[in-house]
Amino acid sequence: QVQLVESGGGLVQAGGSLRLSCAIFGRSFSRYVMGWFRQAPAKEREFVASITWSGGSTDYTDSVKGRFTISRDNAKNAVYLQMNSLKPEDTALYYCAAQMVVSSSGTYSDRYKYAYWGQGTQVTVSS
């Protein structure tokens, strides 16, 4: 069993920044493809960013490219999402997701490829 614990959400004005963190508990020495998704009210869960288990490759949805950065620290079993130049449209519940892999793997943008999910952390961007 794997538990993901997110933190760092909050209220910020447009143009501001937030840094989300996700800690992984359980299977501490396993390899995980990690992702961030978000879901606004009455919207489907949307892919935001993903990173390979090694951290060597990343992928972003077009709307956040150049503003968001996903990173990871496997020694700390943690993944981060640095969000800069935030816009009101970024307002959503942000979820951390993980998929354990046993061999080399790329990034996943499909939410159905992730087996484990955090509880979500709310990000609200005001104007």
Tokens 């979820």, residue? Answer: 95
- Among 7-16, 24-33, 65-74, where is mean pLDDT lowest? 24-33
Q: How many CB atoms lie within 10 A of CB 55?
A: 14
pLDDT digit string (tens) for 59-112? 999 999 999 999 999 889 999 999 999 999 999 999 999 998 887 779 999 999
Give the tokens for residue 105. 């793997």
Cα distances (Å, whole numbers) of residue 19 to 1, 8, 9, 32: 26, 6, 8, 20
pLDDT above 70 (res 29) = no
Tokens 């609200």, residue? Answer: 124
| Structure confidence at residue 85 (pLDDT) | 98
Rounded Cα distance, 106 and 7, in Å: 25
